[in-house]
Structure 1
Amino acid sequence: MVKLAYVTTYDVLNSQNWPKHLVGLCGAGYYLAKNLQEQSISLDYINCFSHKFKVITRAKWSFYRYFFKKDYYRWSEPLVLQDYAQQISQKLSNLNSDLVLCPENAVPISYLECKQPIVLWTDATITALIDFYPYLSNLCQETKKNIYALEKSALDRCKLAIYSSEWAAQTAIKIYGINPDKVKVVPWGANIECDRTITDIQTIVESRPLNTCKLLFFGTQWHRKGGDIALAVTKELNSMGLPTELTVVGCESSVINEPIPKFVNFLGFINKSTEEGEQKLNHLLAESHFLILPSRAETYGHVFCEANSFGVPCLATNIAGVPTVIKDNINGKTFAIDANIAEYCTYIANMMTNYSQYKRLAISSFNEYQTRLNWSIAGKTVKGLFMELI
């Protein structure tokens, strides 16, 4: 049996303590761990937390914030990274691990020295997200340098770097000049439980209304996820004579500065870690015709896989790692970042008018989940890669 040291900066098994801004990544870590165990891989969890050097990092944060109006992040500070590495090394010395896997980002392994092969599996290089994601768009120069240095150090130490998309893999090769032979692409799966069969999906698709198009928007960051675009598409479809409803999960109605149209329903945050929340989200996905998420910044998108597991095609922007997940007219459709509203509306209206074509797309979407976008497939694939290393 393969013995794996599973390194994270959060408690994989305790979702209540996952950082809110990393819930998707933490969920990926949980479902990946579960499926690796199902592949007869033994996991030793190593959770590292740095509480040292707070005086230094707080002083730096205050300095950059108040004097330069810039962001400084302690997680990129070399002293903190060295502390992570020391914690991991100490715990590894008491284990008989065959290799080390970090399923989040390069942070905890950037200074790690160990005899075991190190594997990183993530959705993007952090450097590629600078000035792409909002939280990395106002960085001080010190943090930018630290991020590049920590990531280069981690990738130099790794025997294998796995990315969830072609975009992420290619940016890693381009930015850091790493050997392409040690870079692999393995898509992530859906962060939900799914035992649905093709018969179940056919029943679900048949039960969707024919006289109203139901769109689902899923995200806590309205602007980054393109909520304004989803709203504009919904308005235009109704103006065209196609009754359309938009359900918004994750955001409150206060994100828009206008009266809420009667065909828009804001549900706020729904906690899928509770049975009630899970059932609610499952019902919303099952009844929706499309997931619409025209993000301005997106590295991957677990929610696309989750939607596909219910036979729900996805409408998104053709950016970053999204095209690895969504294949046009197979499990949805991607649009240019500057596409106009009419392009979305035309596609949706054509599908709803030619409903047999929509049903084929919905079934095909579920097939993509079954064959490509689930953690079981991902687990089997990486197990093969691990065996080659050891």
Structure 2
Amino acid sequence: MSSLASVCLHPQCDPSFPIRVGFLSAHNYLDLTQWSGTLFYMQQALVQNGLQVTHLGTPKVYPTWQRKLLGYREKLKSVLVPPPFYPPIRRQWLNQVEKQICEAGCNFIVAPIASQEISLLNTSVPIVYLSDSTAKLFCQEHLYTHVPGQQSQLDRATLDKIELFEAIALTKAVHLIYPSQWAAQSAIEDYSVAPSKVSVIPFGANLEHPPSTSEVLQNRHTHSLVPCRLLFIGVDWQRKGGDVAFQTLLELLHRNINAELVVVGSVPPPHIRHEKLTVIPHLDKNCPQHRHRLNQLLQHSHFLLLPSRAECYGIALCEAGAFGLPVLTTDVGGISTIVRNGQNGYLLPLSACGLDYADRLVQILADPAHYQQLVVGARTEYDQRLNWNCWADSVQRLLLSLENRCVSSRASL
């Protein structure tokens, strides 16, 4: 764990004592489609690491058909009657959460991306807040990635409310956990949070059954680099840098390099078409067949190409590491916490174009030994940092340390 706040266990603090955690989020954290599945794997990792976790709120697991039906209904409702930023029914929901907290006897509330809920929650139980960004960074990213001429989903008044909820939540929380130094630094500089109150713990790869290290290295060692298979994963074509990825493919082909690009999760604009381009518009991680297909793409591709224009973190980058897949991406947002130049891939500046990405790819392809080093480095980064077991272990040690401080504080009264 890279931490701005050191985690030191008190001699009297028993690491085997089960911490009782209430898990709270604004999203349905039992649904793998919510927040790329991160919340699901987050709470699962805490349970598997021995913490007693109480699911706060009303998370549900919906079958695929029902989830789609609910999604269509919400879209229709939002068109006919735009929903308020904070519906009145949410107060009733919070009352239920407060009752659950009392009944469960929680030592802590672990609340990822729940700044609005935290700001209105009435409880004396210490809150640990998690997010991949701050409201300040979110608002900046929203303004940066907004397409001119299109109506913004968030007006200035709404963005101001988001900022207000965030400021209250960061004040109420006893500790803040971010997956990147970029986000942690914003909490310190933009919200005057004490560095001792902030920890940096990278999120892991959202994989139920990751391949073994030996399996990955053996598979990569026998792979031919011809054709060069590039993989692009992202729902937002513009924000993920889809145009740059396509330009990279064209540049490689122009240099007579046999290359292919597979796009997963988005549909490029109509003019983006090529026989070497394959588009898979959607893969549902809740569907085993779809998850298997995505794993196959990660396993058989040679590079994850993700020239993002803006990015808070990038779980897909962690998943690439599990498959020993080197990454070429942009040095924006929290990505530099995941990708280390020359270790598991390369970071290019935001100004880099398809020509620049092609140059880097050509250099790597010309040196197969270097490519194998990147493969080993990618899997090593996953094994040592970018998995949920490492994350949960660091969070548990942090909670034990915080609990010890609470006990010591009460004893001194």
Normalising by structure 1, we get a TM-score of 0.87
Contact kept in structure 2, 1:48 and 1:108, CA below 8 Å = no
Q: What is the match of residue 113 of structure 1?
A: 122
Distance change in 2, residues 1:237/1:318 (3 Å) = same
Following superposition of structure 1 onto structure 2, how do residues 122-271 of structure 1 map, counting pairs within 5 Å? 122-133=131-142, 137=146, 138=152, 139-252=154-267, 255-258=268-271, 260-271=273-284
CA contact (8 A) 2:114 2:129 kept: yes
In structure 1, distance between residues paired with 2:84 and 2:182: 27
**What residue in structure 2 maps to residue 2 of structure 1?**
19
Contact in 1 for aligned 2:317/2:338 (Cα 8 Å): yes
8 Å CA contact 1:130–1:136 kept in 2: the answer is no
Alignment of 1:45-60 (within 5 A): 45-47=55-57
What displacement does 1:223 show?
0.7
> 1:263 offset after TM fit, Å?
0.8
1:90 aligns with 2:107: no
The alpha-carbon deviation at position 174 of structure 1 amounts to 1.4
Percent identical among aligned pairs is 28
Structure 2 distance, partners of 1:82, 1:75, is: 13
| Displacement after TM superposition at 1:133 (Å) | 3.0
Gaps of 5+ in 1: 50-60, 66-71
Where 2:174 maps in the other structure, the secondary structure is strand
8 Å contact kept, 1:225–1:297: yes
Q: Is the 8 A contact 2:248 2:357 kept in 1?
A: yes
**TM-score, normalization: structure 2?**
0.82
Q: State how many pairs are aligned.
A: 362
Matches within 5 A, 1:338-377: 338-377=351-390
Letter of the structure 1 residue corresponding to residue 343 of structure 2: I
CA distance in 1, matches of 2:207, 2:125: 31
CA deviations over 1:323-345 (Å, ceiling 9, x no partner): 01111111111111111322211
Take 1:311 and 1:131, find their aligned partners in 2: how far apart are those partners? Answer: 33
Measured after TM superposition, the shift of residue 136 of structure 1 is 8.5
Q: How far apart are residue 91 of structure 1 and its match?
A: 2.0
Matched, 1:23 2:58: no
Would you say the 8 A contact 2:24–2:114 is kept in 1? no
8 A Cα contact 1:81 1:107, kept in partner: no
Residue from 369, 378, 394 that aligns with 1:381: 394
Secondary structure of the equivalent of 1:132?
helix
Cα contact 1:271–1:278 (8 A) shared by 2: yes
Paired with 1:160 and 1:236, the residues of 2 have a C-alpha distance of: 47
Confirm whether residue 13 of structure 1 aligns to residue 30 of structure 2: yes
Check whether the contact 2:244–2:354 (CA below 8 A) recurs between aligned residues: yes
The alpha carbon displacement at 1:73 in A equals 7.2
* Cα-to-partner distance string for 1:120-150 (whole Å, 9 max, x where unaligned): 1110112311141369854333212211111
Q: Which amino acid aligns with 1:103?
A: P
Amino acid aligned to 1:23: W
Equivalent AA in structure 2 for residue 39 of structure 1: N
Determine the structure 2 residue equivalent to 1:34. Answer: 44
Aligned amino acid, residue 35 of structure 1: A
Secondary structure, in 3 states, of the residue corresponding to 2:125?
coil
Counterpart Cα distance in 2 of 1:364 and 1:386: 30
Q: Tell me the CA shift for residue 306 of structure 1.
A: 0.3
Question: How far is the alpha carbon of 1:113 from its aligned partner?
Answer: 2.5
Partners of 1:320 and 1:331 lie apart in 2 by 18
Asked whether the 8 Å contact 2:22–2:108 carries over to 1, the reply is yes
Q: Is the 8 A contact 1:129 1:136 kept in 2?
A: no
Shift of 1:274: 1.6
- Alpha-carbon separation, structure 2, partners of 1:260 and 1:180: 49
Residue aligning to 2:75: none
Choose which of 305, 313, 322 in structure 2 pairs with 1:300.
Answer: 313
Alignment of structure 1 residues 304-323 onto 2, 5 Å: 304-323=317-336
C-alpha distance in structure 2 between counterparts of 1:39 and 1:333, whole Å:
32
In structure 2, relative to structure 1, the CA distance for the partners of 1:320 and 1:301 (3 Å cut) is same
1:225–1:157: structure 2 CA closer, same or farther, 3 Å change rule? same
Supply the AA of the counterpart residue of 1:37. Answer: V
Quick check: 2:331–2:349 contact (8 Å CA) kept in 1?
yes
Deviations 1:143-190 (A, max 9, x none): 122111111111111000000100000111111111111011000000
CA contact (8 A) 2:132 2:179 kept: yes
Question: Counterpart of 2:375 in 1: which secondary structure?
Answer: helix
CA-based RMSD of the aligned residues comes to 2.3
Q: Which runs of 5+ in 2 are unaligned?
A: 1-17, 60-77, 147-151, 404-413
CA separation of 1:194/1:371 partners in 2, compared to 1, >3 Å: closer, same or farther? farther
Letter of the 1:38 partner, please give it.
Q
User: Could you tell me which amino acid in structure 2 is paired with residue 8 of structure 1?
Assistant: S
Query: Quick one: which amino acid aligns to residue 129 of structure 1?
Result: F
* Aligned equivalents of 2:144, 2:93: Cα separation in 1: 23
Matched residue of 2:106: which SS?
Answer: coil
Structure 1 residue 300 displacement after superposition: 0.2
Match of 1:279 among 292, 295, 301: 292
Distance across 1 between alignment mates of 2:184 and 2:400? 21
